[in-house]
Structure formats: structure tokens, C-alpha cells
């Protein structure tokens, strides 16, 4: 790459060139990022500290919340700093590194959401075998597969970009580095690589989302034999899971399942799966959950007692 590339830095256009608007964007995203870290961090700490949240669902939720923090941290802190300073420049190596971690944590999140759908399927459709199928060892293996799948997906995307020569222009109409915008900067034929990017990225999003929806269709059909209270609880849980999955998968599919072209709407769409989904995750998954809210109150109560001592 270094021998054939004349570009050493990439300039982001971001959302606006107006300095007042940039400062406003910096403040808005700073507040949003703080809420994401605090909300998802509270979930992770609560699940780790609570003895009552030991079911596989909360085990997976803890890892999902951790992945959300990491995923958001790949792009948002830099956006905040760039918008505040007005200098939106990243090195080419830094750009490729950002692509790697963006797809690593994003891929892990995709697989974790799919695993959580499978967990709900087993819990509702095969309750008598639930503890056997979703044993601690099986849960650990599924989480390992999710992170491993994210790593393989990210390594594939990064390898495709890494071997391209970049001769200019060096301006990227986005606020972070991603495969489609960066492909536009390459000075070689990227048609085949674009197909491989879609195959690796978009197909994973669509296949995972299709499998996730199929599992929930089976769950909804099985609820006909449940009691009214069981149906209500299961529907509430499934609706929350589907809402988070839709907010993440639909924008991802829009970006990664089409030919490698960039659209003006891509920056706004990217906000949904990099910022909005991590922001709403604590609200949809946990703050509506009575068990999680009770565990959080107990955790806060213990902290108050400890502070008084």
C-alpha cells in the first residue's frame, strides 16, 4: 500500500463547513456519547454486580452493551473533536484502522443480536430444555463465536481496502472512514472488490436480520399455547429485541447491500446505526425491564450505604 499510494492523509467533509454549526454538532454528540457510555455502562455494571441477573439473556445483554460502547467509540469521539477544532484530518493508516474496528465491533453486534434472538426462541419454544441447551458453556461459546465472527468479517473488509492504491482525491464526504466512501478514493478498478465488500458486509446484515425475524415469527406462532400473562411478557421482550434489531439492521442493509456508491443521505443513515441504536439500547432493553430496574435500585442502594460508611 505504501509503495503505490500518494495519499497519506484523508480530509472529512463532515456534516457542515460552518464553524457555528460544527460547534453545535460537537456539543450535541458529546451529550449523546456521554449518555451512551453511562447508559450502557450502567447495564454492564448492574449485570456484573447483581446476583439476580444470571440468565443467558442478561449474559448476552451485558456483552451487547459493551459492544455498543466500543462501536460508538470508534467514530463519535473523533467527530466531537474534529467538529470542535475544525480540523477534520485522519492519516491513511488511521483511516484503515478505523474501518477495522468499526466492522469488528459492528460485526460482533450483529452476531450478538442474532444469538439473543436464538436465546429467546429456545426460552419460549423449548422451555423444558432451556437450561440444558443454553448452559453456561454454550453461552460462552456463542459469545466467542459472535466476537470471532466480527473479527473475521472485519479482517476481510480491511484486507480488501488495505491492498488498494490511493492517488487522490483525498477528500471524504463523510464523518468517518468506511469501506464504500474510501473505495471512491482508490485510483484502480474497484468493481470486483466492491462485489466482495457487498458479499462480506451486506449479506451478513441481511442474512442475520432474516434469521432473526424468522426466529421471532416462530416465537409468535408458539405463543398461542401460552397463558395470557406469558404471552404479554414474551411479546414485550420480543418487541424490544425486534425494535433494536430493526434500528440497526435496516440502516446497515441500506448502506452495505447496494453497489459501492455514496449518497448524501449516507451520513444521516450512519448516525442511526452508530449513535441512535447504542443510545436507545439501554431504554429499550433494560430500563423497561422490571428485573433490571430492580437490580439497578439495589445497586444504587448499596452504593449509598457504602458512601455513608
Q: What is the pLDDT of residues 158-181, one digit of tens each?
A: 998 888 888 877 888 899 999 988
Let me know: does 174 contact 267? Beta carbons within 8 Å: yes
Nearest to 178 by CA among 95, 118, 257: 95
pLDDT tens digits for 8-28? 889 998 888 898 999 999 999
Q: How far is CA 76 from CA 99, 119, 217, 278, in A?
A: 13, 31, 35, 11
Highest mean pLDDT among 174-188, 226-240, 295-309: 174-188
SS3 assignment, position 196: helix
Between 281 and 147, name the one with better pLDDT.
Answer: 147
Q: Which set of grid coordinates corresponds to residue 52?
A: 439476580
Let me know: does 62 contact 44? Beta carbons within 8 Å: yes
What average pLDDT does this structure show over 45-63? 89
Q: Which domains are delineated in the chain?
A: 9-307 (1.20.1070.10)
Let me know: does 76 contact 278? Beta carbons within 8 Å: no
Between 219 and 227, name the one with better pLDDT.
Answer: 219
DSSP class of residue 272 equals I
Q: What is the pLDDT of residue 107?
A: 93
Helix (H) / strand (E) element for 192: namely helix 191-222
What average pLDDT does this structure show over 43-51? 89
User: Residue 240 pLDDT more than 80?
Assistant: no
Q: What is the pLDDT of residue 66?
A: 96
Nearest to 62 by CA among 29, 40, 36, 93: 40
What average pLDDT does this structure show over 62-73? 95
Let me know: does 43 contact 291? Beta carbons within 8 Å: no
Q: What is the pLDDT of residue 271?
A: 93
State phi, psi for 91 to the nearest 5 degrees. Answer: -70, 160
Q: Please give the model's pTM, rounded to 2 decimal places.
A: 0.89
Cis peptide before 169 (omega within 30 of 0): yes
Judged on CB neighbours under 10 Å (0-12, 13-18, 19+), 13 is: middle
DSSP sequence for 46-109: HHHH-SS--SHHHHHHHHHHHHHHHHHHHHHHHHHHHHHHT--EEEHHHHHHHHHHHHHHHHHH
β-partners of residue 242 are: none
User: Residue 132 pLDDT more than 70?
Assistant: yes
Amino acid at each position: 500500500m505504501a509503495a503505490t499510494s500518494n495519499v497519506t492523509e484523508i480530509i472529512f467533509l463532515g456534516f457542515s463547513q460552518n464553524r457555528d454549526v460544527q460547534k453545535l454538532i460537537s456539543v450535541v454528540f458529546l451529550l449523546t456519547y456521554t449518555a451512551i457510555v453511562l447508559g450502557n455502562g450502567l447495564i454492564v455494571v448492574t449485570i456484573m454486580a447483581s446476583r439476580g441477573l444470571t440468565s443467558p439473556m442478561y449474559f448476552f445483554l451485558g456483552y451487547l452493551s459493551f459492544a455498543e460502547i466500543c462501536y460508538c467509540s470508534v467514530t463519535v469521539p473523533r467527530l466531537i473533536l474534529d467538529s470542535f477544532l475544525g480540523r477534520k484530518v485522519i492519516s491513511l493508516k488511521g483511516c484503515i484502522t478505523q474501518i477495522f474496528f468499526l466492522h469488528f465491533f459492528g460485526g460482533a453486534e450483529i452476531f450478538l443480536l442474532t444469538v439473543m434472538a436464538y436465546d429467546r426462541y429456545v426460552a419460549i419454544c423449548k422451555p423444558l430444555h432451556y437450561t440444558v441447551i443454553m448452559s453456561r458453556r454454550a453461552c460462552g461459546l456463542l459469545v466467542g463465536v459472535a466476537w470471532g465472527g466480527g473479527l473475521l468479517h472485519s479482517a476481510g473488509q480491511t484486507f480488501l481496502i488495505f491492498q488498494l492504491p490511493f492517488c487522490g482525491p483525498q477528500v471524504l464526504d463523510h464523518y468517518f472512514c468506511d469501506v464504500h466512501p474510501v473505495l471512491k478514493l482508490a485510483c484502480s478498478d474497484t468493481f470486483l472488490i466492491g462485489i466482495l465488500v457487498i458479499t462480506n458486509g451486506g449479506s451478513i446484515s441481511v442474512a442475520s436480520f432474516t434469521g432473526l425475524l424468522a426466529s421471532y415469527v416462530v416465537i409468535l406462532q408458539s405463543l398461542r399455547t401460552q397463558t395470557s400473562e406469558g404471552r404479554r411478557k414474551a411479546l414485550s421482550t420480543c418487541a424490544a429485541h425486534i425494535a433494536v434489531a430493526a434500528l440497526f439492521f435496516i440502516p446497515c442493509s441500506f448502506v452495505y447491500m447496494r453497489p459501492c456508491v455514496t449518497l448524501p443521505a449516507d451520513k444521516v443513515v450512519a448516525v442511526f446505526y452508530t449513535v441512535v441504536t447504542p443510545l436507545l439500547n439501554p431504554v429499550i432493553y433494560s430500563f423497561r425491564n422490571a428485573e433490571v430496574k430492580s437490580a439497578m435500585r439495589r445497586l444504587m442502594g448499596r452504593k449509598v450505604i457504602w458512601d455513608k460508611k
